[in-house]
Structure 1
Amino acid sequence: MTTNGRCWAAAFGLTLMTAACGASDTDAGRESTPIQRAPVPQSEFTPVEIEATIDRLVAEINKTSIQPTQLTVLLKELDGFFAPIATGANRAMGELGAAERVTGNVLGTNRASTEAMAHQTRQIEQAATEGTEGIAITPFGEANMDAIDDAVAKGIPVVTLETDLASSTRSIYVGIDNTSAGNTAGETLLPMLPRPPGTVIVHGTEEATWVDGVKRTQAAQAVLANAGYNVLVQQLNYLHEAEDVEALKAAIDAADPPVVGLIGVFSVSYRCAMAADAAGLPDLPIVAFDFEPQTVAYMRQGRIKATHVQRQYYTGYLGPYIVYGIKTIGLGATQQMLAPQLVDGTRFDLGVDVVPAEKVDGFNDFLDEIGAEQ
């Protein structure tokens, strides 16, 4: 971690300690200390428009008198891909706590995958029972929906993070628009390809139950197909890497016309490079998704030309602020503040960072500066 990153983390630690002290009910309705956001390091990767939207929301909240509120943030996990989400959520809770507005916790399931969904449902129910006044959550799927709807029916606003449940009564979703993200990934690969004909393999999903995944896959597929390429979707196998790479290699070997590029639209997309190497085609252009260490290593080797990184830190950071905004200024006013990034009135599109291989170290430094490295 850089010196600036360490200083920011230290300042945040003090803020979080203040948040843990909470505010008493006697504070309700009085003027409060204005919310002070931690300064964001300036970089070419700083999402300026998103920062401006957050500042606008905070300024509107600061016009209100203090309303001590208990919030709960429920994440699928607290490490790996979700570590930056946890960092952002904790930082926002700390800033709101320092202004005597919010108390609460950021929790993960800490369970095996087969138990995690049921455990998260129990967490929602317990939070509602114990008096939480707002929930931000990375839901596992529709099995959580009844618990979310029950919480909303009790007057508890729910904001979904990273994974949406649009058919639930959640107020707002914060994350990427998967169709837009897939389009962006396809457009990134296009200039690297030779002219058609040729086959491009999309390492994605066609599983109908994974709606967001299918949207991202189909969007990338459409961009490449519309450009005249034969596009094959190779179903990813998250749990079994060797089998996944072998299936990708087999698809490369069998393709007619020959494969001219690959695109991975999920975190294990570095496997595209593994499969291309196994097929004896190390020069195939490949673009990836997310910022896994293996992806970064292949980018430094020049094997992966670019990746598309979700803004997990901002996913977590926005959650508590949006929930508190709904509680204090109302849903309509909160939506108005979020309007520049709000799609269909309920989906906050964070977009993705397009990181070319030659800028991987600069982007890594930016993540380090904000404490969002994975």
Structure 2
Amino acid sequence: MSLPPLVPVRVPLDATERRRAARHVLLDGFGPDAQARVAGARVLVVGAGGLGSPVLQYLAAAGVGTLGIVDDDVVTPSNLQRQVLHGADDLGERKTASAAATLRSLRPQADVVEHAVRLTADNADGLLAGYDLVVDACDTFATRYLVGDAAARRGLPVVWGTVLGWDGQVSVWWSAAPGGRALTYRDVFGPEPAEGESCETAGVLGPACGVVGTTMAVEVLKLLTGTGDPALGRLLMYDARTSTWDTIPLAAPPAARGATPARETTLDAPESGVAAGRAPRVPAALGLVVDVGREAVVDGAVWVRLEDLAAGNLPPAVLDHPLDAPVVVVCEQGLRSRGAATVLRADGWRDVHPTTYTALASGV
């Protein structure tokens, strides 16, 4: 079921813009009025990474008038496998600046607004002010809930997506949706959980970000123009292994039904931590213990960054360790250690055991 157009026709299309958007104007059910709505729209994209890249590129190319970009990160080598807004010459540059330069090259008339900050509880409402729609292309639960809650307070629709490993999800949240269709991120997923897997720990197939991100861009254009059937009330689930999409209907808020909220299917994670705040020590019987936490924690372990491990930069203690001897890999939640174990097994070590600081401190 289509929804009314989100934005009015604020400015008529000039001849140059109409010529540039000719393939949109020719679309059945779209036409010049819909393109004029796109040209007058103001869209905020939170995240200029794997999902934000295709979203921003296609929205700029489609003719969205104002594009805001929220991201406080800089471009690093491991981004380039999927974050196609950025190139090798942009390493070390702020993602907002790199993204803005690419978008202005793609469409010089676009008004690109850089918000080179992390979205927080203190600035979320201010960042969303003045925009018609928000795209949630971020990669943490904390930011997703901040975006969802701030948009709900302002009555703004949110086009949301996530990718992890081979899997992706897309949906639309809108607290002020007409026709009794209101639905928010918190309605579906319930209270904010602990952080789970991420691309940093589980990996991600680069082109899957493109598939999901371009789908998000389609949802944005449908909402802005009132064309097609947006994914409000539906969870679209993509499996890159089989190149298939599944659709899960989303009903009224779970609290109203007395049901258990859903969870993002790709992001559940075990509870963990360092027991009683104690730094665990390596039991002598374990042999080689590799700590891949964000900082060195385990006394007597070999600490290495997961990024270096994935890049093949192994410390001498690991390189000298026999391939058939046991290796224990440890981190905060067991997420980074699972990824490290996958890398070490692929490099030839046959007896690799991922675990957490808590389990190591408990002697498990």
Q: What's the TM-score, normalizing by structure 2?
A: 0.31
Q: Which has the higher helix share?
A: 1
Q: What's the TM-score, normalizing by structure 1?
A: 0.31
User: Which structure has the larger Rg?
Assistant: 2
